[in-house]
Structure 1
């Protein structure tokens, strides 16, 4: 199997590992109480995407803010999966989405939304759909180990 790597194309010993890390600072902006999102996407341990931005709307809970931020790298993971499939490069599935909010991880695993905002509920169902298909997997990571903290 061929694998793209820094310095050219080489031989891979296994599937490519694609993962994301995401974190939300709930109601961080004191002027409008919008949360700040941070996310990192890695391919075999190399950072390929880093993002830090204020969320568009006001979240009503930490868990809701975490749903919103987790869906952003989730879309990127799916895009990378499609690209790698077109290049006939195997990836390890399920791709891991690392989140530091236990309530959000439990909620995603139970597939029962309590999100009060429609946009958060849609993002929640989006992640659950791909988790149920075993394409994405949400994993809890302690805040001290969260690399998406800005």
Structure 2
């Protein structure tokens, strides 16, 4: 609605109708909720990169942890690389399935090589094949829940780990993050505990935001992790000397467990949906996890989310 000036009386509000486009995000409504996508933005991105007629790829990244060799020649047009990488970051607003590949591409903005640009084109080819994918928002319960994970020492250039987490509001995916950890973790438990701490920060912020939006969280938010050692550390009131190097994260998580803001639960590795955010995956597994994250094509949403 927008205000219309009326000098003889109070302000009159004129309804604008249903929202259909907001900052490049298309919003479609049907009987089961809303569907958010950026298919028009993605199509423009493919045109800019001269890949509108390219062949498609089944996944955003090749399922390999290997990083390009230092001897790989520099890419001839770094400005193009920067432009496309920045556009991919904005596209991930409704496409968390490309967040990991986009993050890895953006780590090389300072000195992109030919191999880095090939990885970028691979991601664009995946987008070409999933042009109309996006996120549904449907009616349901309004309880927050979070899944967190880390891929330990996954970058063989600096041996740092990748953290990732997703947060759902009921069945709706509302928040996600993929980020390289700032320092090298000395064990998988340490890497996953740091990811757990980062997810806890996000959860506390979302709980406060939900309260402001009149969606109070009356029970602790469940955070799911697949590392039993990290869970034991979070729930154990006795601090172990061998983990003093992560003492700040430990006390932060313990504080919010004790205040009943969060609880930490185990999820089996086979049900760990955050793998999409922390590592490249083979096609079958990637497609399964993408579906669990409710990243669907628009026709599936309008058919009821098959």
The normalised TM-score by structure 1 is 0.83
Deviates more, 1:19-28 or 1:104-113: 104-113
What is the CA deviation profile of residues 96-136 of structure 1, one whole-angstrom value per residue up to 9, with x for unaligned ones? 1110100111111113333242xx32112111111011110
> Cα deviation per residue 1:38-66 (whole Å; 9 max; x = unaligned)?
11111112111222221110011111111
Instruction: Tell me if 1:25 matches 2:151.
Output: yes
Partner-residue secondary structure (3-state), 1:138: strand
CA distance in 1, matches of 2:177, 2:165: 5
Q: Deviations over 1:58-94 (max 9, x none)?
A: 0111111111111112111111111222233222421
| Residue equivalent to 1:45 | 171
- Contact 2:164–2:177 (CA under 8 A) maintained in structure 1: yes
- Alignment-derived partner of residue 3 in structure 1: none
CA distance in 1, matches of 2:157, 2:140: 51
Note closer, same or farther for the CA distance 1:13–1:148 as it changes in structure 2 (3 Å cut).
closer
Query: What's 1:63 paired with?
Result: 189
Report the structure, 1 or 2, having the larger helix content: 2
1:105 aligns with 2:231: yes
Instruction: Indicate the SS of the match to 1:52.
Output: strand
1:1-150 matched pairs, under 5 angstroms: 6=33, 16-114=142-240, 115-117=243-245, 120-150=246-276
User: Which structure has the larger Rg?
Assistant: 2
Contact 2:140 2:170 in 1 (8 A): no
CA distance in 1: counterparts of 2:188 and 2:244, whole angstroms = 12
Inter-partner Cα distance in structure 1 for 2:143 and 2:213: 15
Relative to 1, partners in 2 of residues 1:84 and 1:50: Cα closer, same or farther, differing over 3 Å?
closer
For these two proteins, the number of residue pairs brought into alignment is: 139
* Aligned CA distance change for structure 1 residues 87 and 65 (closer, same or farther; 3 Å): same
What CA distance in whole angstroms lies between the structure 2 residues aligned with 1:87 and 1:149? 30
Of structures 1 and 2, the one scoring higher in RCO (CA 8 A, sep 6+) is 1
Inter-CA distance 53–34: structure 2 relative to 1 (3 Å threshold) = same
Structure with the higher fraction of residues in strand conformation: 1
**Contact 1:18/1:92, CA 8 A, preserved across alignment:** no
Secondary structure of the 2:195 match is helix
Cα pair 1:111 1:125 within 8 Å, conserved? no
- Provide the C-alpha distance between the structure 2 equivalents of 1:137 and 1:40, rounded to a whole number of angstroms: 16
